[in-house]
Structures are given as C-alpha cells and as structure tokens.
Structure 1
Amino acid sequence: DFRKILEQIGEHPIIVRSSSMLEDNFGLAFSGKYQSVFLCNQGDLETRLSHFLMGLKKVFASTFGPDPILYRRDHGLLDYDERMAMVVQKVVGRRFGDYFFPFAAGVMFSRNVYAWHPKINKEAGLVRLVHGLGTRAVDRVGSDYPRMIPLSHPQLRPEVTADQVQRYSQKQVDVLNLKTGGLETIDFRRLAAEVKHPELFYAVSLQHHDHLAPPLFKTQALAGQELCLTFDNLLSKTPFVQLARTILSRVEGAYGRPVDIEFAWDAETFYLLQCRSLSVRKEQRSVAMPGDVSRERVFFTMKSSLSNSVALDLEYIVYVDPKAYDRLPTYDAKMKIAAVVNLLNKQLAGRRYVLMGPGRWGSNDINLGVRVTYSNINKTRLLIEIAFAKEGGTPEVSYGTHFFQDLVEADITVASLFPDEAGNVFDERFVLNAENLLGTMAPEAKDCEEVVRVVNIPAVRNGEYLHVYMDASSGKGIGFFGPRQDGTPGSDQNDADFRVPGLESEL
C-alpha cells in the first residue's frame, strides 16, 4: 500500500526511478531514456500520495517516449516485452531553510577515457562531481562545468591558470525547494551566502587577484570572499578519493566488467545510488596517423583528440554554421534548427555522414549548442563540436553524461574542434562554398539554408570521401579528402604513405 510506504518515509524528499526489464543490462544501459521524478514529499499524507501517484505515472509513461523506442529499435529490441517497475529512494541530503540537497553528488567510472595528460592511468577511473544534486553531473547543462577527477591523479586538472579554473567551474547548483515543491537551480554564490553550509570548507577555493587556493582552516571566514567550486580540500583532506577507488574496484570485480556508479556524498558518508555496466568504446590501441596529405586535401586538424578512432568513407557533411546559429534571434528559431537536424538524421539513415555544429550538442541551453536528443542524431557516424575562440565558449567535456553514453553505445565518435587554436586547420570555406543540398533533401527546411548546410562530398570532390583519423596518445586528429577505402583503414591506401608537408609537426 502506497500510504504505508509514505508513512514510513515521512516528510522526506524522495525520487521515483525507473527500473525496467531491459534497463542497466550489460551493454544496454538505457541511460537517461526513462524518466526519474523528484518529489519534495511535504504536507499531509493525502497530498503526498497524490504527488506520488503522479510521479509513478510520469515514470511509467516515459516507457513510450521516442528516445527509448528508437534506442530499442537501434539495438534490435522492439519485439521484446519491455515492462516497467519503479524504485523509490529517499533523496540523500540535508535541509537548509527551504532548500534540500547533498553536499556533493555525481557519477564515477571504473574506466577513464578522458585522459588529457599522459600521467593519467585510465584503469584507475574518473569521477564527475558537482555540489548539490547530481542532476548537473549526468545531464549536459548550460554554461556550467562539473569537476572532472582522474582517480590516479585527483589533483590534476586540464585547466592551468586560476582564470581558467574559475571559468570552467560549477556556477549553478540544483536543489529541491521544499517551499515551492520542485527542483530548482540556484546561483552558487547566492546559495553559499544564504545557506552557510557547514562543509563549504571542502568545496571551495578562494580567489585573490590571479591566485586561487583552498582555505587552510575550517574556521577561516568565507563570507564575502570570491569563492570558486574546486573541491580541492575534499580530495586532499577526506577519504573520498580512496573510497571511490575501492568502491569502483570491488564493484567492477563483482560485475566482471567496467561500471559506472551514481553516488552522493554528505556528512562525510558515501552513498551509492545506482550502478550499471559501463559502455566502453572498442578502440584500437593506437592509430597510425596518415602522413603525406597535401594541404589542399586537408579539411581539419585537431590537437585535442581523446579517443583512438578512424571514420572512413564519410559521404555527407551536415554543417550547422556556429556563427549563423549564434545570430538567430529567438528561441523558436534555434529550436527549429534542432528539428532540421532531426529531419536530416532520418533522411541520411544508412548513409555515412558527419554532423558538425556549435559548442555543445545536446545542451539544455540553446545558446550554447543545438538541443538534440539521442533520437535526433543516432544515425550519424561522427559528431564534431566546434568552438571559435571569439565566441568565448568551448565544447563541454561530455564524458559521463547520459548523452555521451548514448553516443558510445551507438558507436558514434565525438570530437572537439578549435579552429582558432594555434596549429589547427579548418577549411570552413569548403562547406560554405559547396552546393547546399538542404532545400533538395528537405524542402520544408529551405528557409534554414543560411544556418544548416548539407554537402555531398563525392559530388564536390570528384569522387573523393572524407576520412578522419584520431589518436588519443598524441592527441592528434585529421580529417582529409581521399579515394574511397570501403570502410576499412588502409584497404586502398597505405597509412605509412601519407605525410602532411608542413603539417606533421603541427598535428
């Protein structure tokens, strides 16, 4: 009886999680496909029961959403008798005035593909950590960043200067507002001033001019200081890192394969919330970067490759012009671009195409990237996120989000391109000057031709296709035009025969 459940829980926030027959299977995580519903669970029993029943209905109804259905179709599971159960958990955290949230939460992985430094041991794992509810760790959010912690070297960060650390730090916190009864996002500085969390010492660093450092003493006054969420003291002055390593090692040993675990940390206690097998892309140990490619054939180069990947014989480019997208004046105009991408994804099903666009694919902030979901991009072979320096933005490290796991399971390679970074090459003129097939392929989207461009590469390059090579150990990547290779690296060309005059030292 649901009343008895609520009576036993009392007026404590809860979350209703999906637990279907297929969910969290080995290689089929269904990450983020079904809904989870937070309930503040306040008031008299009948009120709480009404909200509880509504939460159950929302989770059950998500079984019939487009994303899980397409996910099942892509994995040959449409005929499977999918059944939905639900798990009810008490939300980890404490009440501070009208707000309820844990000190920290996130997701951790027993394998780390985001190894930006040669010192990092990929086998040691990675943690994606945020202050407050873990929703900001598993979803692609706006102009915000979780702390990425390689467990082999927890103090190592991809940022170098204090300004970079502050810029790429978390600035918004997700909490439950017990007064309004819903999930709320609050500016961290405002929350810190209102709440005065007793463990803030472990979460923040203090910025003074161009220097950033964690507080030295728990009694050190933090009010009125320039605070930045770094979690440096949590990593160095608590058993958090050692516990994370131990938990990941033991759970992976029990599963017999890599895992990812959603967790919360509050009052110096580690809470395990959910565990599933981790989908890890089957990569080559290393990629022999092509050599002698003439400049005329180079489409782009990059120096920030995080995976060993080869994508050959790409026939189409779908290009969302970052600058044109940024100029769109309204929310509806930008959402229309997402609809066009979805339309092209269906039109190009069965074709090998690369999808290129601004900033953060899948972000919930449409000003930073095209708001797409799995069902909108599941047919692309390669997803490239572009950040021009003058835009003041950067592609977010999406590793660990539900969005990223979708791409891994669909065998879609993700890459970030920084055209204005010294040494990188991007021949944007090729896509801007080539014939745009958007109006032909999707006449209803013809009015979006200034923003979205579709290029048939062989038609423009006299039968050549786009080939992309990326090597994680060197961080190098290159996309170039060449003869068809029938999808097999080196089938028509000898990799050792490729050299890029004047580019080999730059890659």
Structure 2
Amino acid sequence: MERLDFDLSAGEEATLARLDLSEAEKDRGFSLVASTWNIEDDRLEPGVSARGPRIIDFAPVLKYDLFPFAAVVDAVLEVGTKSMGIPVEIEYAVSEDGPDLAPVFYILQIKPLIQRSDKIVIDLGALVKGECLVASDRCMGNGRIHGVRDLVFIDPESWDRSDTETIAKEIASLNESIKAEGRYYALIGPGRWGTRDRWLGVPVSFAQISNAKAIVEADLPDFSVDSSLGSHFFHNVTAMNIGYFSAAYGSTSSFVDWDALASLPVHAKTAHCVHARTGDDIDISMDGRLGHGVIRIPTLQLTPDEKSDNIIDN
C-alpha cells in the first residue's frame, strides 16, 4: 500500500490513507497489529489466521512479542536520555522491509522533553484593566517567552465562521512575512486553531503558524466552542513549547481585551486579520503549576474612557 503520489505541503496526514479494516488487511503488516474475535469461544485470538471480525489491538507485538518492540523502544529511550542528559520523546515507524520481510524499527524524530524550572507566579485577581491584553485561567506552558514584539489577531468585527479557510490563508501569508524578518508573534483569534471543522475555528496547519510563540483561543459573545485540548494539532503546539491560552467569554479571570489590541500600532492588515507591532517586548508569562497565563505590554496603559467593556469586573 505504498503511496508515492503525496504532497507534503498538504499537511501531516498527506502520507496516510484511511482504510476500512477489510481493505487494510491486504497489507502484509496488518497481522502485526490485529487480532481476531472468536465468536464461538467469545475471546480474542492474536493474528488473523482465524475467521472472524478483526480487532486492532497490537496484541501480536505488545502481548506476544512477535518482535521485540517494547525492548527496542526502551533501548532507544535509554540511549537518547543518556545522550541528551534529559528525558526524550521519539517518533518512529515500523515496516516489514528487512531481510526475509523482518520488521525494521525506524527512528523518525528524537527530541528532549522540555523541562523548565522557572517559577512564575500570576495573580489573575490583581490584573489591572488596560494593561493586560490576554489573561487565562486555562493556560498550558511554563515560564516566560522573550523577544516577541508582534501580534497577529483576527478582528472580531470582521469575524465570520464561513470565511475561516480564507482567514487561514491570510494568517499563513502574515506568518511568512514575519518569518522572513526573523521575528516571532503571538496569535489571537476566536474558536479552535488547527481544527478540521472550519465552522469551529480557523483550519490552519502547523506550518502556517510556525513562527507563533503563543496562541490564544478566545470566545466571542456569539461564538463559543470547546478548546483544542487533546487534539493532535494541540500536542504539536505544546511539544514545541508554544504557549497556549484559552479565554472563555464571561469568565471573571479569563479575557481578551480586543479594544486594547485595536489600539496597538498596525504594521499590516488583511481583510480579517491585523498584524500589530510594538516598540517593547511583549510579556508572555505562564504559570504551569496553576495553569494561569498573561500576555501584556508593560508600557501599555489605556485611559479610563478607553478601557474595554468586554472585561468583567470581579
């Protein structure tokens, strides 16, 4: 079932095929991961030699050690940890292309697990209106992100969930411009980032926001969806130590101050998005212990008349 006609720019699933089990069974590697349900005996039998419904449970490898998969993984993790000095994570593939069709374990990627000891304390109740762009009581990440002076945000006035595919292209273009300058940015917008359902948010690929150092998923009064926690896109984001902020509309401790964002100097603009650039570093701080996070510009202070109405008083 080799595929040689894929386009890697189409995303991380460009080389994958979604098949029914009946079709996948034609692949010679299927027997390594499947068991068969014995209806008469009411039990699972490893492999696919018997007749009956197929179940993907990896039992031939994990339980019956068809090849030493667990031992290989342990060895790779041990060598990686000793070499890098800290725990590592790996991505791998297994293919039956060794001598006599023996399984071969391929290491695709190995990288250290990020361990940051910074102890950041964020008191969401003490935040001053007009000084904070984003506050979140559901934040992932820990420490401070330095050297960011750019923000890309979707203008809530032009938000239309039917235009999310167009918005994704606009953000990709802004990302390329920022990347060409060797700069990084914080990304803010409604709904889910990286969703497959364009009605729930902006369906960007990770490559389209590759220079974002923090992403914010914000609710609007008439648009509220569950956050991206648990998605494959989300895990890619956290693995790269990109800060993740979720801001639920109506929360007393989470918000996006859209008025403050609109007051920032505009560097570039598209039909739906604004690229703002500041003269000072943006403070992106995350308390990984409590899940609190803030994005603010220390020198930003709106006048009382300019304070945003979408921040709810405690």
Bin for the TM-score computed over the shorter chain: 0.5 to 0.7
1:255 aligns with 2:195: no
Structure 2 counterpart of 1:89, one-letter code: G
Structure 2 counterpart of 1:380, one-letter code: A
Report the CA distance shift for 1:250/1:284 in structure 2 as closer, same or farther (over 3 A). same
Counterpart among 12, 32, 46 of residue 12 in structure 2: 32
Equivalent residue, structure 1, for 2:296: 480
Q: CA deviation at 1:371?
A: 1.3
Please tell me whether the aligned partners of residues 304 and 475 of structure 1 are also in contact (alpha carbons under 8 angstroms): yes
Please tell me whether the aligned partners of residues 164 and 202 of structure 2 are also in contact (alpha carbons under 8 angstroms): yes
Counterpart among 5, 29, 42 of residue 89 in structure 1: 29
Aligned residue runs from structure 1 range 38-437, under 5 A? 38-39=18-19, 89-90=29-30, 251-252=73-74, 254-256=76-78, 257=81, 258-259=88-89, 279=111, 281-289=113-121, 294-321=128-155, 324-325=158-159, 327-329=160-162, 333-349=163-179, 350-388=182-220, 390-398=222-230, 401=232, 403-404=233-234, 406-408=236-238, 410-437=240-267
Can you give the 5+ residue segments of structure 1 that lack an aligned partner in the other structure? 1-14, 19-30, 53-86, 97-102, 104-196, 200-242, 264-272, 440-444, 459-463, 484-505
Counterpart among 259, 278, 296 of residue 457 in structure 1: 278
Question: CA–CA distance in 2 between the matches of 1:309 and 1:435?
Answer: 27
Query: Normalising by the residue count of structure 1, what TM-score does the alignment of the two structures yield?
Result: 0.40
Report the CA distance shift for 1:283/1:356 in structure 2 as closer, same or farther (over 3 A). farther
Q: Deviations over 1:36-63 (max 9, x none)?
A: 22455979xxxx9xxx9xxxxxxxxxxx
Report the CA distance shift for 1:295/1:334 in structure 2 as closer, same or farther (over 3 A). closer
Report the CA distance shift for 1:418/1:252 in structure 2 as closer, same or farther (over 3 A). farther
Can you give the 5+ residue segments of structure 2 that lack an aligned partner in the other structure? 5-10, 38-43, 45-52, 56-62, 64-68, 82-87, 94-104, 300-313
Please tell me whether the aligned partners of residues 154 and 190 of structure 2 are also in contact (alpha carbons under 8 angstroms): yes
Q: CA deviation at 1:384?
A: 1.7
Q: CA deviation at 1:407?
A: 3.1
Structure 2 counterpart of 1:255, one-letter code: L
Report the CA distance shift for 1:476/1:337 in structure 2 as closer, same or farther (over 3 A). same
Query: Normalising by the residue count of structure 2, what TM-score does the alignment of the two structures yield?
Result: 0.61
The count of aligned residue pairs is 247
Structure 2 counterpart of 1:479, one-letter code: I
Q: CA deviation at 1:364?
A: 1.2
Q: CA deviation at 1:339?
A: 0.9
RMSD: 4.5
Please tell me whether the aligned partners of residues 193 and 201 of structure 2 are also in contact (alpha carbons under 8 angstroms): yes
Please tell me whether the aligned partners of residues 389 and 421 of structure 1 are also in contact (alpha carbons under 8 angstroms): no
Q: CA deviation at 1:430?
A: 1.3
Structure 1 counterpart of 2:229, one-letter code: V
Report the CA distance shift for 1:321/1:280 in structure 2 as closer, same or farther (over 3 A). farther
Please tell me whether the aligned partners of residues 133 and 256 of structure 2 are also in contact (alpha carbons under 8 angstroms): yes
Please tell me whether the aligned partners of residues 137 and 246 of structure 2 are also in contact (alpha carbons under 8 angstroms): no
Question: CA–CA distance in 2 between the matches of 1:359 and 1:433?
Answer: 22
Question: CA–CA distance in 1 between the matches of 2:22 and 2:138?
Answer: 48
Report the CA distance shift for 1:481/1:322 in structure 2 as closer, same or farther (over 3 A). same
Question: CA–CA distance in 2 between the matches of 1:274 and 1:324?
Answer: 47
Structure 1 counterpart of 2:29, one-letter code: Q
Percentage of identical aligned residues? 16
Q: Of the two structures, which has the highest relative contact order with CA contacts closer than 8 Å and spacing of 6 or more?
A: 2
Question: CA–CA distance in 2 between the matches of 1:304 and 1:474?
Answer: 8
Instruction: Describe the SS at the equivalent of 2:172.
Output: helix
Please tell me whether the aligned partners of residues 153 and 273 of structure 2 are also in contact (alpha carbons under 8 angstroms): yes
Report the CA distance shift for 1:427/1:383 in structure 2 as closer, same or farther (over 3 A). same
Question: CA–CA distance in 1 between the matches of 2:252 and 2:72?
Answer: 44
Question: CA–CA distance in 2 between the matches of 1:250 and 1:296?
Answer: 54
Please tell me whether the aligned partners of residues 16 and 36 of structure 1 are also in contact (alpha carbons under 8 angstroms): no
Structure 2 counterpart of 1:471, one-letter code: D
